[in-house]
Chains A and B, each alone.
Chain A
Amino acid sequence: EPEVTQTPSHQVTQMGQEVILRCVPISNHLYFYWYRQILGQKVEFLVSFYNNEISEKSEIFDDQFSVERPDGSNFTLKIRSTKLEDSAMYFCASADDTYQPQHFGDGTRLSIL
């Protein structure tokens, strides 16, 4: 069964540095999402992406964050000038329609020191 893959599985970064989290969605999917889960808290929506542009974003997704689909397969989340509170598990998801189930990757655990 096709899967969403995320790299790296764990990223450790110094506060203030930039990080790029990478995702390869399922190949025929058109809708892409990023969520995050701070330790012990619920999964929160960050941003959705369709047709090479952001469709929606939450209030969490401020100017520090950006997303890109640099080629036909990758979907990236960039976090500029990381803060301690950015430490979380970040999940990428994809779907072939807006109301079809989203398929999630295994996540990238981001640790900011």
Chain B
Amino acid sequence: AQSVTQPDIHITVSEGASLELRCNYSYGATPYLFWYVQSPGQGLQLLLKYFSGDTLVQGIKGFEAEFKRSQSSFNLRKPSVHWSDAAEYFCAVVSYGGSQGNLIFGKGTKLSVKP
């Protein structure tokens, strides 16, 4: 069965430091991958997506992610973290179990930013 693994439950970084959030997926073919961010009390906001083509994708708020087929990974990066980036981050893949684009989410990584 398809799955998404985010191995880090909670990460703390200093403001201005670089960030990498890990995501691994299990799926045979090329997946459709997403990163969403959830601020406290808010819904899920799309950061970026990967469908095909260039394996390095740019998103909003200065985030980028790199698709690595050999490692089944889609890690999210940001070169310099801002205090407003503190939130929970979810990696997701479109389920191919059906045909309607249902998303399978990872458990999320909570990001804390210290001054």
Binding site for B on A (CB under 8 A): 4, 6, 31, 33, 35, 41-45, 48, 50, 55-56, 58, 91, 93, 95, 97-107
Contact = CB atoms under 8 A, between A and B. Distances in A.
**Secondary structure type dominating chain A contacts:** strand
21 contacts: A6-B43, A31-B101, A33-B103, A42-B105, A44-B105, A45-B103, A45-B104, A48-B102, A50-B100, A56-B100, A98-B94, A98-B100, A99-B51, A100-B101, A101-B34, A102-B46, A102-B103, A103-B46, A104-B43, A106-B43, A107-B42
B99 A98 contact: yes
A105 B100 contact: no
B90 interface: yes
Interface residues of B, number: 26
Contacts, number: 69
Interface of B: 32, 34, 36, 41-46, 49, 51, 90, 92, 94-95, 98-108
Given A56-B98, A56-B100, A105 B43 contact: yes
A16 B36 CA distance: 34
6 A-B pairs closest in CB distance:
A98-B101, A106-B43, A104-B44, A56-B98, A55-B100, A48-B100
